[in-house]
Structure formats: structure tokens, C-alpha cells
A = this chain, B = another copy of it.
Amino acid sequence: MADERRAKTALFEAIAVMGKAFASPVRLELLDLLAQAPRAVEELAQASDQSTANVSQHLQALHAAGLVTREREGTRVRYALAGAETLRVWLALREASAVRLAEVERAAREYLGGDVEAIDREELVARMARGDIVLVDVRPQEEYAAGHIEGARSIPIDELERRLAELPRGREVVAYCRGPFCAYAHQAVRQLQTAGRKARRLEDGWPEWRLSDQTNSHRAA
């Protein structure tokens, strides 16, 4: 009886080790970044506006919780998301928080600016098959290189304005980026519309696509 309680407590304590990893905003941002592409500590520190030491410590916490893998690469250490289960937890948490916490919704709206017309995965697949649209990945190049939706071309958001001519005039443009809370696709659609193009954003990003359809994943050399 008391033994059973002890064993049950030990089990929940072990699971809570992973739960704790999701309890810090900094770690969540790191997970979000790693969901796009593996990265070194320094890069993560820059992307998340944190000190290197702090990021290193958080990464070690994530590592201890089994959420990321670590790999030495010469003078750098490359961290990557560990397994699809990790991604699934993060996406489920993000989704749940968006649905159940008004504050998340509010913060998302604040960050993304006004809403922009979206297209869902299913429609995207259908229109792509018909050659109806151009799909653009507006994330940084390295993230595109680490994996992207098949058939997408890479035009990082920074370069979109001066590379507008690359996009055929006749077809609608669909932009996607890191996920529903990533501002790049919103920004891209606004820029495109300002330039007189027809444009929408994919309702979510590369990690969601990858998880929902493993076979579609495409990795560049």
C-alpha cells in the first residue's frame, strides 16, 4: 500500500522532470527555434536575445529532460530537437494555450499585427497539385535548408521585397514560416498585397506540416 504510493509518486515525479522543462518562456522559445532547425548555442542566444551562458544552462535543462540532443561540431555544440514526441508536446501545449488562455490569444494578436487571410493544408495540397499557386518559404535560408515543404521555394522575408520579380505574376502566392505564431508569413502577405499580388499565408508552418505528413518532408543536401 505505502509501497504502491511510493512507486506512483516516483512515476509522476519522473514525468514532471519533463514537465518542468516546459515551464520557462526562454526554454519554450528555444524549443520553438529548434523545431525549425538544429542550431549552436551562440545562434540560439542571438535569436532569443539571451546571454550565451543563460541559453547554455537552459539547453542543459532541456537535455536533462530528454527534449534535445547535443552534438559536438568542432568548436561548437549543435543542439537539435529530440524525436517527434518532443515536437508533439510543444505543439499540443501551444495549441492548448492558444485555445484556453485569452492572454495567449491577445499576445499573439499583438505580436502578429492584424490578421491575414489563411489557407489550410488540405486546400494547399489541392491547389499545388493543380499548379495553381506558388508556395514560398519565407524563413531564413538555414531553416529552409534543414527541411521544408516539398515544392516550396525559399525567399527569406528580408529578401522578399527585392526578389519580387522572381514570382510569376499570374499565380496566387502562399507564404509559410515557422508556425501560426510566426510573424514572417503575415509580413510577407502584407508586402505582397502592397505590391499588388494576390497572397495568403499557410495557416501553420513547417513543423506542423512535417509532423502531419512525414513522407512529404524534404531535406536538402
Contact = CB atoms under 8 A, between A and B. Distances in A.
A117 interface: no
A104 B65 CA distance: 11
Interface stretch (A35-43, A87-95, A151-159): A87-95
B100 A67 contact: yes
Interface string A97-118: 1011101101110110000000
A7 B110 contact: yes
Interface in A170-186: 181, 183
B96 A86 contact: yes
Interface of A: 4-5, 7-20, 22-26, 28-29, 32, 49, 65-67, 82-83, 85-86, 88-89, 92-97, 99-101, 103-104, 106-108, 110-111, 181, 183
